[in-house]
């Protein structure tokens, strides 16, 4: 009997990379690999990288330096770099770190089995193409093992917006949507394996056009899949928030009352410099329309502070927008230069000023987040049970509003949706009792 080879994947960045790592593992499963949680005993190590954050490439090179001694111990070990840093750096990765055997971009990882065969022949493997074929159709079917009750499902990739700070159009390519029938097939397969909630993923997911009704048409079709109880989607662009998608938040019960809708800045001057193609006012009016459709919806957003040439007045405009929206969640970052993007050549804000702005923004966002969590006390919500807690009789899960909830004295099984009453708000979670 052949001993399975061990595959270790380290995933950086967004939910789409989590999904991609799952599919890479499945692709390599056909080559006799099984996943391991330790790099120390792996036969192949894949770093699935993200290029969004500051010094992303240098962090990858640092990790490769830490992995290099493993190859000295095991000369047969294969090390690969996948994802957006692989797409951006290409051959430079192999030049700087000879321990790397394989480099594959995010649109080419369905070719991993063929690349692994090249490695067995003693060759290196590099593939950062944007192939015409559908990578999802070339991947082997997911094995029928049980899954956690919540799963990611990629429906759209790439972006045509070309925000001045973003590398996604260069590393993920143009916007491409998966055909609805293939998405529905994968969703039904996930449900068969225990999934009750899917989060539809895309770099610009509400630009999805693989269904005649766009993203809202896909959501309405998914809502008819027997056993699929909850639907979410991320990440969206304000300019693609069409009327029928807003309406879906009102009349599709399976679509959860949570929406991540990045704005990046509250200053029209900075938004124009970012090439965001919307204004603070148009964004606020859009939020109003969404809340008219679904009054209890919780909003989430993204912010960049310290963007080149951002003034105190620009930053204050961002703070004012946050005060008006009151986000339940938000992700804020200090601007970092991405080589090759239009903003990369512009003069930077003083780092200490940017740090101060980030701390002030995060403090305001945290205040709003805690205020919204406290407002949940006494309310009845539904919790998708995902795992057991540390204490006896305690189960953990997510509410329809994406809050983490600890349910005390809970006899509901993993995968069930329990109706509960919130009794306490903690810093990052809620506590509830079964109804």
Which among 344, 375, 406 is the end of a domain?
Answer: 375
Q: Let me know: does 36 contact 8? Beta carbons within 8 Å.
A: yes
Distance CA 71, CA 67 (A): 7
Question: Which pLDDT score, from 0 to 100, does residue 326 have?
Answer: 98
Q: Is the dihedral of CA 413, 416, 418, 422 positive or negative?
A: positive
In a domain, 132, yes or no: no
Q: How confident is the model at residue 143 (pLDDT cuts 50, 70, 90)?
A: low
Which among 127, 152, 184 is the end of a domain?
Answer: 127
The domain total for the chain is 4
- Compute the average pLDDT of residues 126-138: 59
| pTM, entire model | 0.81
In a domain, 187, yes or no: yes
| For residue 144, pLDDT beyond 90 | no
CA angle 303, 230, 263 (to 5 degrees): 15
**Full residue range of the structural domain in which residue 155 is found:** 141-256
Looking at the fold, whether 50 and 113 belong to one and the same domain comes out as yes
- Residue 209 is classified by DSSP as -
- Residue 264 is classified by DSSP as B
Q: Is the dihedral of CA 318, 319, 325, 331 positive or negative?
A: positive
Question: Which pLDDT score, from 0 to 100, does residue 24 have?
Answer: 86
Question: Among 24, 9, 1, which residue's Cα sits nearest to residue 113?
Answer: 24
In a domain, 23, yes or no: yes
Q: How confident is the model at residue 14 (pLDDT cuts 50, 70, 90)?
A: confident
Question: Which range among 15-19, 23-27, 134-138, 322-326 shows the weakest confidence by mean pLDDT?
Answer: 134-138
Looking at the fold, whether 159 and 229 belong to one and the same domain comes out as yes
| For residue 62, pLDDT beyond 90 | no
In a domain, 155, yes or no: yes
CA angle 269, 274, 279 (to 5 degrees): 50
| For residue 132, pLDDT beyond 60 | no
Distance CA 191, CA 126 (A): 36
Annotated binding site for [4Fe-4S] cluster: 14, 50, 84, 159, 163, 166
In a domain, 30, yes or no: yes
Looking at the fold, whether 303 and 393 belong to one and the same domain comes out as no
Looking at the fold, whether 155 and 223 belong to one and the same domain comes out as yes
Q: Let me know: does 119 contact 101? Beta carbons within 8 Å.
A: yes
In a domain, 147, yes or no: yes
| For residue 304, pLDDT beyond 60 | yes
Query: Tens of pLDDT along 234-293?
Result: 999 999 999 999 999 999 999 999 999 999 999 999 999 999 999 999 999 999 999 999
Q: How confident is the model at residue 139 (pLDDT cuts 50, 70, 90)?
A: low
Looking at the fold, whether 9 and 123 belong to one and the same domain comes out as yes
Looking at the fold, whether 25 and 103 belong to one and the same domain comes out as yes
Looking at the fold, whether 230 and 289 belong to one and the same domain comes out as no
Q: Let me know: does 292 contact 284? Beta carbons within 8 Å.
A: no
| For residue 221, pLDDT beyond 80 | yes
In a domain, 133, yes or no: no
In a domain, 134, yes or no: no
Looking at the fold, whether 202 and 287 belong to one and the same domain comes out as no
CATH value at residue 301 = 3.30.750.200
Which among 215, 232, 256 is the end of a domain?
Answer: 256
Looking at the fold, whether 306 and 218 belong to one and the same domain comes out as no
Question: Which pLDDT score, from 0 to 100, does residue 421 have?
Answer: 98
Contacts of 235 (CB under 8 A, 6+ apart): 14, 202, 203, 204, 205, 260, 262, 302
CA angle 30, 184, 415 (to 5 degrees): 80
Question: Which pLDDT score, from 0 to 100, does residue 352 have?
Answer: 97
Q: How many CA atoms lie within 13 A of 412 on its CB side?
A: 25
Tokens of 236: 């969206």
Percent of the chain with pLDDT over 90: 61
Looking at the fold, whether 36 and 119 belong to one and the same domain comes out as yes
In the beta sheet, which residues pair with residue 106?
A: none
Q: Across 78-235, where does the E strand assignment appear?
A: 78-83, 102-104, 125-127, 150-154, 156-157, 176-177, 197-201, 230-234
Q: How confident is the model at residue 129 (pLDDT cuts 50, 70, 90)?
A: low
Annotated binding site: 14, 50, 84, 159, 163, 166
Looking at the fold, whether 353 and 397 belong to one and the same domain comes out as no
| For residue 156, pLDDT beyond 60 | yes
Looking at the fold, whether 122 and 21 belong to one and the same domain comes out as yes
Distances (CA, A) of 84 to 19, 105, 169, 182, 247: 14, 6, 10, 25, 34
Query: Tens of pLDDT along 165-214?
Result: 887 777 777 788 999 999 999 999 999 999 999 999 998 999 999 999 99
Please name the helix (run of DSSP H) or strand (run of DSSP E) that holds residue 44, with its range, or none.
strand 44-49
Q: Alpha helices, DSSP H only, in 280-392?
A: 280-293, 312-325, 351-375
CATH value at residue 178 = 3.30.750.210
Question: Which pLDDT score, from 0 to 100, does residue 17 have?
Answer: 81
Q: Before 235, cis peptide (omega within 30)?
A: yes
Percent of the chain with pLDDT over 70: 94
Query: Tens of pLDDT along 74-86?
Result: 888 999 888 878 8
User: Would you list the DSSP string of 9-27?
Assistant: EEE-SSHHHHHHHHHHHHH
CATH value at residue 387 = 2.40.50.140
């Amino acid at each position: 009997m052949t001993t399975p080879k061990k595959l270790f994947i380290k995933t950086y960045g967004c939910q789409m990379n989590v999904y991609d790592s799952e599919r890479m593992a499945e692709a390599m499963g056909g080559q006799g690999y099984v996943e391991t949680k330790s790099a120390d005993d792996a036969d192949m190590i894949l770093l699935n990288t993200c290029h969004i954050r500051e010094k992303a490439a240098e962090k990858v090179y640092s990790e490769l330096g830490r992995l290099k001694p493993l190859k000295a111990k095991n000369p047969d070990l294969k090390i690969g770099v996948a994802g957006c840093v692989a797409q951006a750096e290409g051959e430079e990765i192999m030049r700087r770190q000879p321990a790397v055997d394989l480099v594959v971009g995010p649109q080419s990882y369905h070719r991993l089995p063929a690349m692994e065969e090249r490695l067995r022949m003693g060759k290196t493997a590099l593939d950062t193409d944007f192939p015409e074929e559908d990578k999802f159709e070339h991947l082997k079917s997911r094995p029928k093992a049980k899954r956690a009750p919540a799963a990611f499902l990629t429906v759209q990739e790439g972006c045509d917006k070309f925000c001045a700070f973003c590398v996604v159009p260069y590393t993920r390519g143009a916007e491409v949507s998966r055909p609805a029938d293939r998405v529905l097939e994968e969703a039904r397969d996930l449900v068969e394996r225990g999934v009750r909630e899917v989060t539809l993923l895309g770099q610009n997911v509400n630009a999805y056009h693989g269904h005649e009704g766009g993203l809202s048409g896909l959501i309405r079709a998914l809502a008819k899949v027997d056993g699929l109880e909850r639907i979410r989607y991320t990440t969206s662009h304000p300019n693609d928030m069409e009327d029928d998608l807003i309406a879906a938040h009102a009349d599709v019960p399976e679509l959860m009352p949570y929406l991540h809708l990045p704005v990046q800045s509250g200053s029209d001057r900075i938004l124009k410099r970012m090439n965001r193609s919307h204004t603070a006012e148009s964004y606020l009016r859009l939020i109003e329309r969404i809340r008219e459709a679904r009054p209890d919806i919780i909003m989430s957003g993204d912010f960049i502070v310290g963007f080149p040439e951002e003034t105190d007045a620009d930053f204050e405009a961002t703070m004012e927008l946050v005060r008006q929206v009151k986000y339940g969640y938000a992700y804020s970052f200090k601007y970092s230069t991405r080589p090759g993007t239009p903003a990369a050549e512009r003069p930077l804000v003083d780092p200490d000023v940017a740090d101060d702005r980030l701390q002030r923004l995060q403090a305001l966002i945290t205040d709003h987040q805690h205020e919204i969590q406290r407002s949940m006390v006494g309310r009845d919500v539904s919790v998708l049970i995902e795992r057991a807690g540390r204490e006896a009789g305690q189960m953990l899960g997510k509410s329809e509003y994406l809050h983490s909830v600890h349910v005390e004295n809970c006899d509901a099984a993993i995968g069930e949706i329990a109706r509960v009453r919130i009794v306490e708000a903690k810093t990052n979670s809620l506590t509830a009792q079964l109804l």
